[in-house]
Structure 1
Amino acid sequence: MKKITLLLAIILTSTSTSFAQKNNIEKDIKMYTQVWDDIINKGEIDKINTTYFDTNITAITSPENIVGIEDFKAFYQNYLTGFSNVTFTIIDVFGQGDKIVKHWNFKGKHTGDFFGIPATDKMVDIDGVTLVKMKKGKISQEQDFLDNMVFLSQLGLVSYPENINTIDSLYKSFAIGDIPSVLAAMDSEIVWNEAEGNSYADGNPYIGPDAVINGVFARIGADHEYFKLKDIELHEMSNDQVLATLRYDAKYKNDNAYNAQVAHLWTLKDGKIIAFQQYVDTKKLADAENK
């Protein structure tokens, strides 16, 4: 009988403890989500205080952590001064014991100083995850995880890492006459400009792939016996641009050949080419075309 009583006591104690822990974490999650909604979406930065945060609140960052209410507040003030039209959404949140995990999305326009970065007027839309530790009902530690390369790319500070490969593939497709693949790399509203003074610049700007193929590619094919791109070198630039330096090795059907130094400036967005600008010695092209 004593053993049964002891067993029941253990079960009841365990059940009571589990219930209390569940109740506490649900309370913590409710407070946590409301506080961050107020801070980011409503701009109530003063909610970072000892009512909701531990005195030694710590943001795990590199190269060193942010520790303490005032430094933690100053850190997140950058988001409020750096971005306008902000929408911060907690997509999912769950917890156990003293730990909370949140999956979030941040949208905004970079219109102010952000950690010393001047406004770029770029829109950002980034997902991330935050690991949280609670202490006696207060937020005591946070660590954010997000794709910083995507974030910086959206700000226009670094280029999307696949841009070089996109342009390289385009040149390779052009070399073998695979024009459908060339056009597939272009945005439906691509803005294409031939160099001023080039005879094909009469249609500038060409808007959309159909305009490019009819106004430029078809005319090159009709006018030339051959048209080759040689010595192509690709240079990654900021703001999602790629500079290509190369040479045109070509021959008009009037039997006049030319070899000209060229530069192509490509602008991309989300892996698609949205703009093209050609730079070339147009006199050399014109002399060969009109002899």
Structure 2
Amino acid sequence: MSAEELRKANAHFYDEVFRRRNVDAIDDLLSDDFVEHIPGPGQQTDRQGTKEFIKNVLDAFPDMDLEIEHDVVEGDTIASVVRFTGTHEGEFAGVPATGRRVTVYVTDFGRMRDGRWTDHWGLVDVGGLMAQLGAGPGGTR
């Protein structure tokens, strides 16, 4: 797979799952042996766990949008810096809906084999997100 094909597959995942809110597409986009290497709180590390986690995120931030700000490809792996924005309208990580608009950066690393994602490592600015929700240092409720 070329670097350009990997970039297109990466953009397709974000578009289909997050922008179109088609969480069921995960069944086709992630391999049967998919592994989430840095799971969210309570998240299982397999494909189903990822599907449930993303559904919870979209329920909590139903107007979520994103922008891939930068990416780097090496071999079968892509690293992306993604800016997510959305309004906190549902419980997330134990924080009840605040109605606050947030922006959070995520650094994602994904590996692909035979056209499907096999591995993911996601680093989220959790401190920045919690502060924006008024639930962490620098935030007020």
TM class by shorter chain equals: 0.7 to 0.9
Check the 8 A contact 1:89/1:105 in 2, yes or no. Answer: yes
Q: Secondary structure at the match of 2:64?
A: strand
Structure 2 segments unaligned to the other structure (5+ residues): none
Deviations along 1:169-221, whole A, 9 cap, x unmatched?
A: xxxxxxxxxxxxxxxxxxxxxxxxxxxxxxxxxxxxxxxxxxxxxxxxxxxxx
Q: 1:64 to 1:113 in 2, by over 3 A?
A: closer
Check the 8 A contact 1:58/1:142 in 2, yes or no. Answer: yes
Check the 8 A contact 1:83/1:112 in 2, yes or no. Answer: yes
Residue 140 of structure 1: aligned partner:
118
User: Is 1:112 the equivalent of 2:90?
Assistant: yes
Question: Within 5 Å, which residues of 2 pair with 1:185-196?
Answer: none
Question: Percent of aligned positions with the same letter in both sequences?
Answer: 22
Give 1:98 deviation, angstroms: 1.1
Residue 35 of structure 2: aligned partner:
58
Give 1:83 deviation, angstroms: 0.7
Instruction: Kindly indicate which of the two structures has a greater share of residues assigned to helix.
Output: 1
Check the 8 A contact 2:63/2:86 in 1, yes or no. Answer: yes
Give 1:117 deviation, angstroms: 2.8
Deviations along 1:127-173, whole A, 9 cap, x unmatched?
A: 2211111122211111112322111000111131xxxxxxxxxxxxx
Check the 8 A contact 1:60/1:66 in 2, yes or no. Answer: no
Q: How many residues align?
A: 140
What is the aligned counterpart of 2:45 among 26, 43, 67?
Answer: 67
* TM-score normalised by structure 2 residue count: 0.87
User: Is 1:96 the equivalent of 2:100?
Assistant: no
Calculate the aligned-residue CA RMSD, in Å.
2.1
User: Is 1:239 the equivalent of 2:140?
Assistant: yes
The amino acid of 1:27's aligned partner reads E
The amino acid of 1:101's aligned partner reads A
* Whole-Å separation in 2 of the counterparts to 1:146 and 1:115: 13
The amino acid of 2:104's aligned partner reads I
Check the 8 A contact 2:76/2:112 in 1, yes or no. Answer: yes
Question: Within 5 Å, which residues of 2 pair with 1:95-244?
Answer: 95-160=73-138, 239=140
Q: Secondary structure at the match of 1:72?
A: helix
Residue 203 of structure 1: aligned partner:
none
Structure with bigger gyration radius: 1
Q: 1:65 to 1:119 in 2, by over 3 A?
A: closer
* TM-score normalised by structure 1 residue count: 0.44
Deviations along 1:66-90, whole A, 9 cap, x unmatched?
A: 3222211001111110013221111
Check the 8 A contact 1:43/1:80 in 2, yes or no. Answer: yes
Instruction: Kindly indicate which of the two structures has a greater share of residues assigned to strand.
Output: 1
Check the 8 A contact 1:32/1:139 in 2, yes or no. Answer: no
